[in-house]
Amino acid sequence: MPSRNEVVAEQLAAIRQDLRDLWTALRTDPKKRARKERIWSLLNVGLAAGTTFGARMVATKLWTRLTGELPPPVQAAQEQARKVREEASG
78 lies in some domain: yes
CA dihedral 76, 79, 84, 87 (to 10 degrees): -140
Give the type of residue at 2: P
The answer to the question of residue 76 being in a domain is yes
In a domain, 57, yes or no: yes
Q: Which amino acid is at 27?
A: R
1 domain residue, yes or no: no
The Cα–Cα gap between 48 and 60 comes to 18
The structure's pTM equals 0.52
Measured distance CA(66)–CA(59) in Å, rounded: 10
Whole-number pLDDT of residue 72: 87
Which residues contact residue 71 at a Cβ distance below 8 angstroms, ignoring those fewer than 6 apart?
59, 60, 63, 64
Instruction: Note down the domain range covering 55.
Output: 29-89
Say if 19 falls within a structural domain: no
Say how many domains are in the chain. 1
**pLDDT score at 48:** 97
Could you tell me if residue 37 is inside a domain?
yes
Whether the predicted pLDDT of 90 surpasses 80: no
